[in-house]
Chains A and B, each alone.
Chain A
Amino acid sequence: MQILESGEVHDVIVIGSGASGGMAAYNLTQKGVKVLMLDAGGKFERTKFWTHAVPFEADERLRHGEKPPPFFLDKTEQPYLTPEGKPFNLMRVWGIGGKTNVWGRVSLRMSDLDFGAAERDGWGIPWPIRYADIAPYYDKVEQFIGVCGGDDNSDVLPGSKYYMPVPPPRCGEVFIRKSAESLGIPVVPIRRANITRPHRGFPACHYCGNCGAGCDTASCFNSADHLIPFALETGNLEIRSRAVVARILTDDRGRASGVQYFDRDSGAERQVRGRVIVLGASAMDSTRILLNSKSDIFPNGIGNGSDQIGRNFTEQQMVHVRGYLPQLFGSGYQNSDGIGGGHYYIPRFNHRSKQDYLRGFGIQMWNTGSGTTGERVAHDVPGFGADLKAAVKERYPALLSLHPFGEILPRPENRITVDDSRTDRYGVPLMKVSVSFGDNETKMRRHMYDTAEEILEKAGAEVVPFDRDACDDPGSAIHEHSTCRMGVDPKQSALNAFNRMHEVENLFVVDGSAFTNASEKNPTLTILALSWRASDYIAEEMRTGNI
Chain B
Amino acid sequence: MDRREALKRVGTLALVPVLGAFHPLVPVPQDGGAWRPLVLDASEAALTADLAELIIPETDTPGAKKANVHQYIDWKLSEDTRARQDKFRSGLEAFAGLDRSEQIALLKNGGAFFDELKSLTIEGYYRSKVGMIEELGFEGRTFVTVFDGCTHDEHLNWTPSDSKG
Contact = CB atoms under 8 A, between A and B. Distances in A.
Contact of B132 (A54, A335, A385): A54
Interface string A119-158: 0000000000000000000000000000000000000000
B158 A384 contact: no
Nearest to A183: B160
B72 A59 contact: yes
B55 A388 contact: yes
Interface string A213-236: 000110000000000000000000
Most B-side CB within 10 Å, residue of A50, A60, A384, A393? A384
Contacts of B119: 379
A331 B14 CA distance: 28
A47 B8 CA distance: 11
B23 A178 contact: no
A379 B17 CA distance: 34
Contacts of B143: 206-208
Given A64-B3, A171-B155, A372 B140 contact: yes
B44 interface: no
Contact of A386 (B3, B59, B137, B142): B59
B128 A56 contact: yes
Interface in A408-433: none
A179 B160 contact: yes
- Identify which of A203, A338, A370, A389 gathers the most chain B CB atoms within 10 Å of its CB: A389
Given A56-B128, A182-B160, A338-B149, A372 B141 contact: yes
Contacts of B55: 384-385, 388
A57 interface: yes
Interface in B90-118: 104, 107, 114, 118
B160 A458 contact: yes
A374 B57 contact: no
Contact of B139 (A56, A170, A335, A388): A335
Interface string A330-362: 011111111100010000000000000000000
Task: Report the interface size class on chain B.
Answer: 35 or more
A335 B7 contact: no
Nearest to A59: B127
B46 interface: no
Contacts of B118: 384
Contacts of A52: 11, 14-15, 23, 141-142
Given A182-B160, A459-B160, A385 B135 contact: no
Interface string A157-187: 0000000000111110111001100100000
Given A178-B158, A389-B59, A393-B135, A168 B54 contact: no
- Report whether over half of chain B's contact residues are helix, strand or loop; otherwise say mixed: loop
Interface string A388-417: 111011001000000000000000000000
- Interface footprint category on A: 35 or more
A175 B155 contact: yes
B57 A174 contact: no
A337 B54 contact: no
B149 A168 contact: yes
Contacts of B139: 333, 335
Interface string A28-39: 000000000000
Q: Which of A335, A337, A393, A396 has the most CB of B within 10 A?
A: A335
A517 to B, nearest CB: 35
Contacts of B154: 327
B136 A374 contact: yes
A232 B124 CA distance: 45
A337 B140 contact: yes
| Interchain residue pairs A-B with the least CB separation, the first 8 | A168-B149, A460-B163, A378-B122, A333-B137, A167-B147, A374-B126, A55-B127, A182-B160
7 contacts: A56-B127, A63-B75, A206-B17, A209-B140, A333-B139, A335-B144, A458-B163
Given A173-B150, A390-B59, 16 more contacts: A55-B132, A57-B26, A168-B149, A169-B150, A170-B149, A207-B147, A327-B158, A332-B137, A333-B137, A337-B141, A373-B126, A373-B131, A384-B118, A385-B57, A386-B59, A389-B57
Interface of B: 3-4, 7, 10-11, 14-15, 17, 23, 25-26, 28, 54-57, 59, 63, 72, 75, 104, 107, 114, 118-119, 122-123, 125-129, 131-132, 135-150, 152, 154-156, 158-161, 163-165
